[in-house]
Structures are given as C-alpha cells and as structure tokens.
Structure 1
Amino acid sequence: MRLTRAQQQERTRAAVLAAAHAEFAERGYQAVTVDRIADRAEMTRGAVYSNFPGKSALYLAVLLDVVEREPSEAVTRETHLEDALEAFARAWLDRLPMHGDTPAGAHLRLRSLDGVLDTVAGRTALGGVTQLETLLLGRALEACVPTAPRRVRLAGVVRTVLDGAGHLAAVAPGVGDPFDVVRACEHLADLPLTDVWEPTHLPFVKAAETVDEPWEAPAAAPDLINGEPVSLGDGVIVLLGAERLGAAEEAVRAAGERVTVVVAGSPETDPLVRLRVRDLVGCLRRAVDPALWPGFALLLDDGHVASALGVTPEPATECAVRITDGRVVARADHRGAGHAVAVVQ
C-alpha cells in the first residue's frame, strides 16, 4: 500500500529519532553530528533538517520521546505532604543511571541538558521554564495541605536536592544513596521556610486598562499539564515571553478563577517547555492526585493567541486580558500585567 505524504513524513521522523537516540546514547551530545545521525538513519542530511532545525532540537525531541513512552500512572487519593514528597522523589530518581550505563547513556537517561542550551536565548528559556516547573510543583504540594501557605520555595529546594543528586550521579556514578535522597526530600516538609506571597514590586504595578473589545477566541489547544483541550473563553489569559515566565504566579495567586498561562512560542522555547513540563507532570502524577491540583492551564502558543491579543511576542512580553461574556473587559501590557488584570473585579 502506498503511503500518504503525511505517513511518509512520520516514518522519516521516527527513523531519524531512533537513529539520534542511538547516537546520543553511544557517543554523547557533543560528539554527535547531524551527518552521523543521517548516515545511521540511511537518509540525507536534508531529510534530517526537514524534520528538525538542528542538533539541539533533535536532542530535545529524543528526550521528549523517551518521556512520552513512559507509563502514565497516577495516584487517585489524597496524599499527606511528606508522602507526596517521598513519592515525587522516588519517581524523579527512577532516571538515575543504572549499573553498566556509559557516560553518554547516563546523561541521556538523566535528561541532562549540559552543553545543549549554549545560547543566551536557550539559557534564558531554561530559567523561565524552571520557574514554571517550580510553580506547578509548589501548587501541587499546596493541595496536600489546603490550609498551608505557599509551597513554591519548598518546591525549589526539592528540585535543587534532586537535580544535585542527578548531577552527582552523572559525574561520579555510584556515589551517594538514592534512598537517602528520598528520605531527605520527605523530611523537607518540616523545613521552616518563610514562604509568603508578596512580591515587593506588585504595589507599584500599573493598573489594567478597562476596555470593551470584541474577542475572537483561538481554537482550543491542549493543556500541557493534563492534555485536555482548553477553550480560551471567559477568564484571565496571560501571554508570557521566555524572560517573563516567572510572572505566571502573579496572575495565578491573584485570580479567583482559573487562569490560562500562555507561553509565547519560539524555536528556543517550544521543545524545552514541552519536554520539561511533560517530564515534571509524569513524576508529579505519581505523587499527588491530579484532580486535586489547584490550578491553572498552561498552553504553548503557535502564534494564534498572540495574534488574537494583537501582540508581536518577544522574550520580554507580558500581556494579559480578562474575558467576560465573550468580550475583553480589561487589558494590560507591562511588567505585572497578569496580576493587574487578575485583580480587576
């Protein structure tokens, strides 16, 4: 049977990914070239570039493919904070290198990005995405103790411990006991952090502009957190560039209803956001019932949301609107825009 063009393209992409996975696992990111991947896949260099813009994009795609193939299990019960921290740490530490792994294979198993994001834009995107991950983890931990204060600082400490364990496992295999790391994360629940939510700049944020504008909602897009389609109807929508992803929490904390955080699409940001969020969510689902996560929706924009907002996105973009009864009733386009729109009554 003759394949359609789409089927042929999918087959080509799968072959390139398989070849890239094998090359990265055997040789490591730095030693691999696109030519080697093309040769292994028995394709031309052009065929590789027609599916992926470069080696770093290929590497991120390989990691995402690994993450998406992992079992998608989830707890379906209320969880104490200590138990959630233990379960999250166990899930995350499943990626530690196994006995006999080569250094290259260990880095791939760890989802290591060392030496991959070697541009200013790439490092900026990683910093912003890490802030999003920490917010998501913190909000899920807060669901374990609904009356507790903010848990984002706790989430940051947990990630620091786990990332440190991963780095140590990569450079000194066999050093350290992962079970000790799990126990340490469990006991972090009692760490006396002053985790309050009052950023010093918020009192000085310019108020949102009251408007009455038509709203042409883009087509529903999948939520990166739960995979469900998100309709951009009534509520608060915040569009953030790579430099402003940390501002997501400002809107999430201030709004009384569900907020949709939209990451402005870019070649540096898109694959990184998909990989890191999907990876974190996979671990988090094994620790805290997803139905309990107090939340926000997270979308990756393909340009349609920015167009609907009338914005040309840049790394420093922070634009927010409030939609009521299908119309834009408040708008802000400046630092703190998400918070400014979220507090409009």
Structure 2
Amino acid sequence: MVRLTRVQQQARTRAAVLAAAREEFAEHGFGPAKVDRIAERAELTRGAVYSNFPGKRALYLAVLIEQVERSAEDEPRATVSPISRVDALGVFARTWLERLPLVGDPAAGGRLRARSLDGVFEDDRGPATLAQLARLEALLLAVALERGAPIRQVRLAELVLTTLAGAGHLAATSPGFGDPFDVAHACRHLATIDLDDTWAPPHLPYVTPAHTCRDSWAPPAEVVDLISGEPVDLGNGLLVVLGANRLGAAEEAVRVARSGEQVTLAVVTGDPEETGRLVRLRLTDAVGCLRRVFAAETWRHLRLVLDDGALAASIGLQDVGDETESAVGVRDGVIVARAHGRGAGHAVGARKAATP
C-alpha cells in the first residue's frame, strides 16, 4: 500500500475540491451553489473544503483561474503583430469573444465559461479593485496599439474593453442576443474614431520628488514576468510596487520612463485569498488574450509581476496592502532613487529621466 505524504494528500484534497466545485458552479452558478454540496461531491467534509479555501468566493475564483491557466497552456502565441490598429482590434475582439457561451449552453455553465463575475463581488472592495484592474488591462492593450508611437491609445483600449465586456455580460445573461461578428466589426471601427486622447493628470506636478540614495539590494532569485513568462532582469530600470487598488498609477510610470528603459510593475495585495485571486484571474486572462494577438516583443520594456510580497520586501516594504504605491530606480544593481505614496512611480521616473 502506497502511503501519501502530507503534501501529496493536501494536493489530492485540493484537486478533489476544485473538481467538485467546478461541477457545482457549472450546474448551479455562483449564487445558488452550496459549499455543503461541493463537499458531498468531493466525498469530503465541509471542514476539508474550508481548510483549503476560506469561502465560496475564493473557491469560485480558484475554479476560474484553473480554467484560464489550463486553456492558456494550449493556446498558441502570436509571433507577428497585426499591421494596423484596425486589424489588431478586429483580431483581439474575435479572440476575446471566443469565451462567450453558445446559444444551447446551460445558463450557469455559460457564465462559468465566460468568466462571469456577476454577483460575486457585491461589497465595497470588489468594485474598486475591478475598476483598477480594468485600467491596467486597458493600459496593456494600449501599449500594444501604440507600439512606441507618441499617440496615446488608452481611451481607445478602454472603449474596446467596455464594448467586449458588455457583449460578455449580455451573452451570459441573455444567451443568443447579439452577433459576435458584429461586435468584432464594431471594435475594428472604433480604431477609426478620433478620441483626442491626451495625458495630463492634474496631480502629477504636485507629486513629492523622489529622494536619491545608493542602497544595495538583493531581489528574489525567481521573479517571473506574467506577460512573457521569462525571468525578470531587475538590474536596471524602474520598479513600481502597486496595491490592487492603485493599479491605475501604472500608466504614470510607463509615460515617464525614458525610451528603452524597463518598467517593472509588481502587483501586491493585503488579501491574497480573495483579492489576490481576483487579480491573478483578471490579469492572467487579459495577458493570455493579448499574447494570442500581439508578439511578445510588443511589451519588451514592460514587465508585470504578481508579487507575493517577496519583491516588495526586498526594497524595504514590510507591510503591503491594496493601497500600496512605492517605487525605486535601479542602476547596475543598486537602488539610486526612492519614492512612496501617490505618484511614486512618476517621481522616480522623472528623477531618472532628468539624470544623464
């Protein structure tokens, strides 16, 4: 008889819970699903479920993460980006719309396939984090559309994502309504609209300047970029640590960085079980869709890290949370500038930009 180690037994229990939860959510949806039924499906106790997941919401997010990450393993990555913004948005929209449920799909199963979060976050924390995630997703799409050109495309990216999110909501709640081909065509057309997009946040002139320093540091050995899947070289560039409710500040660092300078965005949270899972779900899903349309070279100067706190701790941040906003400038493995609080990334980037 083969005896399982404690770690092996925990992994087996967790897998059983996730499989049972997937069936429960696909059959009933998030709201009507019951933890007791999930435990019964897994042939485990209710306590065994809660020993792996703090609640039904965390379990639902874990099921969606597993679904997204499993599908990403089999999806091809683009090696050449579309030539024009019109073509890029058409391909991106068609790729995004593949997740929509079909007319004959069961309602609950269709919402699971569409990664629907309707009714999952009804407290004050969820909507605030979702809004910040949407801003970061729009920035990632905008960077791909801009391709280094000085014409900001964030408003266009936000409009496209709004259109797709609306189509996704209708498909999940009203299966069969709307034609995905029409939605994709509409997204292509959005690229032809002049949105007069400018970048002039009113608070930036009043941001506290970064202070110079010369601090040695030892970053974690394995820091992986979510976009490329490759290790991140942290020897030079701008590192910005952002809490889940401060993700909109990512653009401040991207805009102020010198041409060719690497910007690393490290996302942290004070609630890894739920907010952390939400961040992982949305960003993994967004990046997976983008990588199918745009070549990895598109984001060669931008790195995105889901930090468990180790990277933040390495620059001196011991107590991180959803409101964290801090940045350092690194040169030849040495921290040469620091800033903390609102506008930190801009402050450090502006100081570096002014330094020969």
Shorter-chain TM-score range: over 0.9
Task: Say whether residues 1:278 and 2:280 are aligned partners.
Answer: no
Q: Secondary structure at the match of 1:66?
A: helix
Q: Deviation at 1:318?
A: 0.9
State the alpha-carbon separation in 2 of the partners of residues 52 and 183 from structure 1.
Answer: 41
Q: Deviation at 1:151?
A: 1.1
Moved more, 36-45 or 223-232: 223-232
| Residue aligning to 2:262 | 258
Task: Say whether residues 1:73 and 2:67 are aligned partners.
Answer: no
Moved more, 162-171 or 70-79: 70-79
| Residue aligning to 2:327 | 320
Q: Which of 80, 87, 90 is the aligned partner of 1:86?
A: 90
Q: Secondary structure at the match of 1:230?
A: coil
Q: Which of 211, 223, 226 is the aligned partner of 1:209?
A: 211
| Residue aligning to 2:345 | 338
- AA in 2 matched with 1:332: A
- AA in 2 matched with 1:76: T
TM-score between the two structures when normalised by the length of structure 1: 0.95
State the alpha-carbon separation in 2 of the partners of residues 304 and 277 from structure 1.
Answer: 19
State the alpha-carbon separation in 2 of the partners of residues 6 and 316 from structure 1.
Answer: 34
Q: What residue ranges of structure 1 are gaps of 5+ in the alignment?
A: none
- AA in 2 matched with 1:340: A
State the alpha-carbon separation in 1 of the partners of residues 330 and 311 from structure 2.
Answer: 13
- AA in 2 matched with 1:182: A
| Residue aligning to 1:104 | 108
Contact kept? 1:224, 1:274, Cα under 8 Å: no
Q: Deviation at 1:330?
A: 0.7
Q: Which of 170, 179, 184 is the aligned partner of 1:177?
A: 179
Q: CA RMSD in A?
A: 1.6
Identity of aligned residues (%): 57
Q: Deviation at 1:315?
A: 2.5
State the alpha-carbon separation in 1 of the partners of residues 4 and 209 from structure 2.
Answer: 56
Q: Secondary structure at the match of 1:221?
A: coil
State the alpha-carbon separation in 2 of the partners of residues 302 and 170 from structure 1.
Answer: 33
State the alpha-carbon separation in 2 of the partners of residues 190 and 227 from structure 1.
Answer: 33
Contact kept? 2:102, 2:176, Cα under 8 Å: no
Moved more, 247-256 or 115-124: 115-124
Inter-CA distance 292–307: structure 2 relative to 1 (3 Å threshold)? closer
State the alpha-carbon separation in 1 of the partners of residues 293 and 160 from structure 2.
Answer: 13
| Residue aligning to 1:52 | 53
Q: Which of 299, 302, 315 is the aligned partner of 1:296?
A: 302
Q: Deviation at 1:325?
A: 2.5
- AA in 2 matched with 1:89: A
Q: Deviation at 1:111?
A: 0.6
Q: Secondary structure at the match of 2:102?
A: coil
Q: Deviation at 1:178?
A: 0.9
Residue pairs, 1:136-285, within 5 angstroms: 136-143=140-147, 146-147=148-149, 149-256=151-258, 257-265=261-269, 266-267=271-272, 268-285=274-291
| Residue aligning to 1:18 | 19
1:267-322 CA distance string (max 9 Å, x none): 33311111111111222122211222354111122121232222222322211111
Q: Secondary structure at the match of 1:262?
A: strand
TM-score between the two structures when normalised by the length of structure 2: 0.92
- AA in 2 matched with 1:63: L
State the alpha-carbon separation in 2 of the partners of residues 10 and 24 from structure 1.
Answer: 21
Q: Deviation at 1:17?
A: 0.9
Q: Secondary structure at the match of 2:239?
A: strand
Aligned residues: 343
Contact kept? 2:238, 2:348, Cα under 8 Å: yes
Q: Deviation at 1:233?
A: 2.7
Moved more, 102-111 or 116-125: 116-125
- AA in 2 matched with 1:342: G
Contact kept? 2:253, 2:345, Cα under 8 Å: yes
Q: Secondary structure at the match of 2:79?
A: coil
Q: Deviation at 1:4?
A: 3.0
State the alpha-carbon separation in 2 of the partners of residues 84 and 115 from structure 1.
Answer: 32
- AA in 2 matched with 1:236: L
1:23-49 CA distance string (max 9 Å, x none): 001001011122111111111122212
Q: Secondary structure at the match of 1:50?
A: helix
